[in-house]
Structure 1
Amino acid sequence: MWKEFKAFALKGNVLDLAIGVIIGAAFGKIVASLVSDILMPLVGLLLGGVNLSGLTFTFGNATLNYGVFLQTVVDFLIISFSIFLFIKGVSRFKRKEEEVKPEQAPLPSNEELLLAEIRDLLKQNAQLNKPEA
């Protein structure tokens, strides 16, 4: 059982996935800091000093913190847009890399060459033996 687990855990796909999760978490922290520490204070200045997270609505004994919800939605939109731009940049880089290395058609095998030669001879023979009208 240990050998099977070791073979599974050390497969390339599992390691790639683990690395992707770790890098994604770190990237998420960077973008979250960008949103909360740089962008949202600027948005607050543009909106006249409004802090979205402080917006509340009291209904009886319940307090609805809709500002926190709005802040979370804005954070999500900015984070998802930045991830979109990052993935778009990476895919553009991959596309350029693929364009540099054009795929060559595999050379035909000896068997395929021989079959093509036989086909050509049969066509040629059929044309020579064709009755003329």
Structure 2
Amino acid sequence: MKALLPVLLIALLSACGESSSTAAGSKQCGVYAIGPNQIKEILKSQQAEPAPGRTAKDKLPADFPPELLDPQGYYRGMAVYCTVEDARKALVDQKHSDWGIYELSSDWKSNVYLADDGANHLRENATIKQAVE
């Protein structure tokens, strides 16, 4: 569970992402997320937990913030972006400092959905492949 804490932190902090206008087009999307720079150190140690996908409330820590749950009682999954540029814009819009962009080992078409909050989120857990910047 201790190793899961940084990933939950990412999930909590990046859940306020906005939908990507480029994702709606015919453009080929990667899957990118934003999160604290400490993830870069975790990736070096190869102890990184997967980026969380949509998760039932009973599988979350008891103190998980209820405002991050959808109307069905699920955590929506990590907010994700189609391109590095979309992720970079989210960093600026959300005014995060000491954060980076991470590429996930996942497929946009099969593992990303537009949630009720208007943002794109992971449907299933995905491995953090690498830090992009």
TM-score band by shorter chain is: under 0.3
Higher Rg of the two aligned structures: 1
Q: Which has the higher strand share?
A: 2
TM-score where L is the length of structure 2: 0.22
